[in-house]
Homo-oligomer: A and B are copies of this chain.
Amino acid sequence: MLENINELLEKRNLIELKKYLSNIESEDIASLLNEVNEIDEEKQAIIFRLLGKDESAEVFAELEPDIQENLINALSDKEIKEVISDLYLDDTTDLIEEMPSNVVKRILKNINITDRKLINELLNYPEESAGSIMTPEFVDLKENMTIADAFEKIRKVGVDKETIYTCYVVTLKRKLLGVVNVKDMLFAEETTSIKDIMNTNIITVNTLEDQEEVAKKFEKYDEIALPVVDKESRLVGIVTIDDAIDVMHEEAEEDFEIMAAVTPSEETYFKTSIFKHSKNRFLWLLLLMISSTITGAIITKYQTAFAALPILVSFIPMLMDTGGNCGSQSSTLIIRGLAMDEIRMKDFFKVIWKELRIALMVGVILALANGIRISIQYKNIELAITVGLTIILTVIISKILRMYTSNNC
């Protein structure tokens, strides 16, 4: 794909290039433009200008912030206005959050007053709240409309909405009464009242709810959009499934980074500078280093034992690693179980009891394996028993200790 585009660019055959681009999915064009090393700023702007009106907004929403900034700087006010007016408001809000203030000024200048007010409201919701990821662009219906009225309204206002498949029934004061799916509307008579087919068991999210909770609701209830209500149960926006998937993705990424003792970062690997990488990793290493220095200090108390039986030193790595590995097995399984609601806080003693039996079983087998090796290698049964018992204790203590800390976090 990249080769074809470069060839057409070099030949300056823009008509052919435009045709070629119209057959590519907007997400693939965005991936291409995001590769800064492959395509320079000037080419980015040429390609972007060749995109169809609808497609350019779709592509723009998928670009990395630095590419968006380059493009805005390359575009005229008229072009910016066109792109921004086709963006969904949640994407515009994300854009404004990422851009430096001079670019934000140019963007805001090219947005109409109503949208600017809505964006300002969205910007005020706390980071990672449902309010910060919702969009106010949904189809609202009234309960006394007929299906025919409803379809008319969808046809009139639906083009700009992020989804039309789920519509929301509200009172004059914007209180949420029910939800209607287009599927149900298609299967009902045209004269049926919306009131009669709307679903009043509504799953809602609150504007201030954490985005991770919102994502969990999507996972549980298999919906493609969820309504967001404020403290007074007024409908203020919707979250769509694509945004929920982004959140799931982001949160899993964060969990991985925390597990590997790295401060989470939203940047990609290559876009993060080596200073930033070092900073994200350094603090955790230092903290963990201090804790293992304490272990070291404890070991020095037993210098006489090591002097009498120097071979003991060679078991330090094995015991330390086994303890660490056992601990991380338990804490990972328990933390994931808590996150997935498979384990509740009240199960604390059940988990201890289960981990204790697992630790005993695993510890005894590992101890036996090691004991046999040691008695064969060193022909020293006492040493084998000592190391074996130490393994069992290490496994039990590290599983239980880690369980205790993971249940508390």
Which A positions have Cβ atoms within 8 angstroms of B?
23-25, 27, 151, 154-155, 158-159, 164-165, 182-183, 186-187, 201, 203, 218-222, 224, 241-242, 245, 248-249, 252-253, 255-257, 259-262, 268-270, 274-275, 277-278, 281-282, 284-286, 288-289, 291-293, 295-297, 299-300, 303, 306-307, 310-311, 313-318, 320-322, 324-326, 328-329, 331-334, 336-337, 340, 342-343, 347, 350-351, 354, 357-358, 361-362, 365-366, 369-370, 373
How far, in whole Å, are A357 and B186 apart by their CA atoms in the complex?
61
CB-CB nearest in chain B for A188: B155
Name A307's contact: one of B284, B307, B361 (CB within 8 Å): B307
Copies in the complex: 2
Q: Which residues of B contact A354 (CB under 8 A)?
A: 270, 274, 277
Rounded to whole Å, the gap between the CB of A308 and the closest CB of chain B is 11
Q: A165-B183, A183-B165, A253-B336 are in contact. Are A292 and B274 (CB under 8 A)?
A: no
Best-surrounded residue of A155, A307, A313 (most CB of chain B within 10 A): A313
Q: Is the interface of A mostly helix, strand, loop or mixed?
A: helix
Distance between A360 CB and nearest chain B CB, rounded to angstroms: 9
Contact A289 B321 (CB under 8 A): yes
| Distance from A358 Cβ to chain B, minimum over Cβ atoms (Å) | 5
With A25-B221, A366-B285 already in contact, the answer to whether A317 and B316 are too (CB < 8 A) is yes
Instruction: State the CA gap A365–B155 with chains docked (Å).
Output: 63
**10 A–B contacts, CB within 8 A, in A order:** A24-B201, A219-B245, A253-B336, A256-B336, A257-B332, A281-B329, A286-B366, A296-B315, A296-B317, A307-B310
Which of A242, A268, A285, A303 has the most chain B CB atoms closer than 10 A to its own CB?
A285
Interfacial chain B residues near A315, Cβ < 8 Å: 296
- Contact A316 B296, beta carbon cutoff 8 Å: yes
